[in-house]
Chains A and B, each alone.
Chain A
């Protein structure tokens, strides 16, 4: 049995999160009512039987590390293997193409030396998917490729996703930005551990660059292949990506593909009382997390834990994050309300389908009574 260790890279940011990621990395963005984006990468690792996982931390690591703790929620607090916190470097943060900085790996090379694993499975941390990596691992072993990159035909245009250039079935390069229908790199790949260590050595002079940029001239000298993933997957780089991926969870086919009993997405447990839906409430097509107290109208929306919705409130097409309080008569449409906000009585917050309104956290601090 060949052994695989995991590497999750969370050390990158974009300028398109409209300050939602001012104090947190994209990887620790709250998602889907009770999760954070990092939960997907960590859960997929453990669900695929990978029990040693290195996590390259982002510059703003507080909220991420607060969420992950010892990794016990993912059973990564182990004697053998487990979670390794690998401090990321502090520059090159919001270059559109950076995901896997070579220097982040180089300065943590101990992690790759102190193991006998044959392969390293690398993923970025802003991905929503429920994926069994074993199919990828098997395909990689079978083909004998140096690197196998996970790809998918892009179903929308993106300035951040990378297009994979192919020659005779082999990867000849990557380019930032994809059009719909093009083959997109999903920022996950598997590589022989020895080869990754060699890269760190060979390209040490250019280690401030992303691994796939560094390889530029050498693609065709190596055997780099693609592996097509046909399940549901989303990468989050912008407010638009974030909003759309959340809203897609209201499609129960997608929801069921992401959240199921066999391959559960694990997250930090919080003891939260159940949701209470009072007689005045009207809820349609929405996710309502535990701890919510609902007396108003909620349609096509996602409410995180402990949100209070008073009487006469109308919430549509919106994401309301943890512990926010929406006072009576307020109207919220097409908006993202970050944590701990108090929306006053009869206040009106309206974005539109093309222009989602974003309220940063604690603009007016919410204090819940009772």
Chain B
């Protein structure tokens, strides 16, 4: 048994994020680029690092190659530790066969080896596809203070949106009395953020019970939490008051990126005490050419800008050639926009080439989305 630690984390990073369409065609949602430099998983990994949690299991399933190679041994988030670190946990085969992870709870259940290896009282269950800054210590303190079996991090959402979330009702001590997954008529506007702290021993028991229940969908929100409530266990709500977003759709992904261009972004990357760390490749310094015109843009490492760009974000290593025009767009890393190409109100995926004279998107229209590794020609068709 290893050195005693208070809390270890398990990060669910196997989701496809199907509503992000072309952006997750070949990579898992946690590996999708954000702000031109980060990847979505950076936020939960940085939160762990900034909260002093030094042991994280990352559960992967959907198209894991990019994600696995990006996370590596976690060194980029300072997870190199003597008896901790980052562990990639993919589905695996056993003597009785192998299966894909059937749900969030099943994914954790299948990695009880990981939970048991580390000597901790508590387990933090996270989702790898949310954008937020959070000190998990505050949540853990709250969990311990209430002597709860489980704590769910919650936030207030607009009443109109409440039916899109798992909605909780609480008593005056913030003890959860009811949990409804995507209710048609929500009783409250306290939404679960998909962040849970469990007493480890109880979690292991519950997961083992759940695994043998054939009617269960093996999901934390749908099965584990309702079961705890039904058994009258103390499930505590921890109210989080900050920015949190599940960038599940193209619109919310686009908006959350583009707000970085505001004079005062509501979710800023700049925070010295709580830095968002990332594992970027090595790029040289950004070069701005003689004839480039830049009007309110974010420009990442390795970019070379010769054309005109307005209200846009350029990811690491993008090249914008002379005569190209980009407005209100998000250009993901390592993409080349050739001479006289025109891109308006669009998201262009990673390692894509927009050839000379090609046009993408238009003002006022829907956000045009081009995936990763594409080639967009002047004729408008993707090769």
B242 to chain A, nearest CB (A): 17
Residues of A within 8 Å of B278, CB to CB, are: 271
- Residues facing B in A4-63 (CB within 8 A) are 32-34
Kindly report which residue of chain A lies nearest to residue B293, judged by CB atoms: A282
Residues of B within 8 Å of A80, CB to CB, are: none
Q: Interface size of A by Cβ–Cβ distance < 8 Å?
A: 34
A283 at the interface (CB under 8 A from B): yes
Q: Say yes or no: A284 contacts B300, CB within 8 Å.
A: no
Q: Say yes or no: A274 contacts B282, CB within 8 Å.
A: no
Q: Say yes or no: A284 contacts B298, CB within 8 Å.
A: no
Q: Say yes or no: B284 contacts A265, CB within 8 Å.
A: yes
Which of B35, B75, B288, B289 is in CB contact (< 8 Å) with A274?
Answer: B35
A275-B290 in contact given A290-B301, A370-B270 (Cβ < 8 Å): no
Q: Say yes or no: A274 contacts B37, CB within 8 Å.
A: yes
Residues of B within 8 Å of A197, CB to CB, are: none
Q: Say yes or no: A279 contacts B286, CB within 8 Å.
A: no
How far is A32 from B301 in the complex, measured between Cα atoms in Å?
13
- Most central of A33, A266, A276, A278 by chain B CB within 10 Å: A276
Q: Interface size of B by Cβ–Cβ distance < 8 Å?
A: 34
B285 at the interface (CB under 8 A from A): yes
A259-B284 in contact given A271-B275, A273-B270, A281-B294 (Cβ < 8 Å): yes
- Residues facing A in B8-31 (CB within 8 A) are none
Residues of B within 8 Å of A279, CB to CB, are: 295-296
- Residues facing B in A79-121 (CB within 8 A) are none
Kindly report which residue of chain B lies nearest to residue A281, judged by CB atoms: B294
A274-B284 in contact given A279-B296, A290-B300 (Cβ < 8 Å): no
Give per-residue flags for B234-263: 1 if the beta carbon is below 8 A from chain A beta carbons, else 0. Answer: 000000000000000000000000000101
Give per-residue flags for A309-351: 1 if the beta carbon is below 8 A from chain B beta carbons, else 0. Answer: 0000000000000000000000000000000000000000000
- Residues facing A in B262-319 (CB within 8 A) are 263, 269-270, 275-278, 280, 282, 284-292, 294-301, 304, 313
Kindly report which residue of chain A lies nearest to residue B300, judged by CB atoms: A274
How far is A135 from B285 in the complex, measured between Cα atoms in Å?
28
Give A contacts to B, CB under 8 Å.
Answer: 32-34, 72, 250, 252, 255, 258-259, 264-267, 269, 271, 273-279, 281, 283-290, 298, 302, 370
User: Besides the contacts A33-B285, A274-B298, A284-B292, what 13 more A-B pairs have beta carbons closer than 8 Å?
Assistant: A265-B284, A271-B278, A274-B36, A274-B300, A275-B300, A277-B294, A277-B296, A278-B263, A284-B288, A284-B289, A285-B288, A288-B286, A288-B299
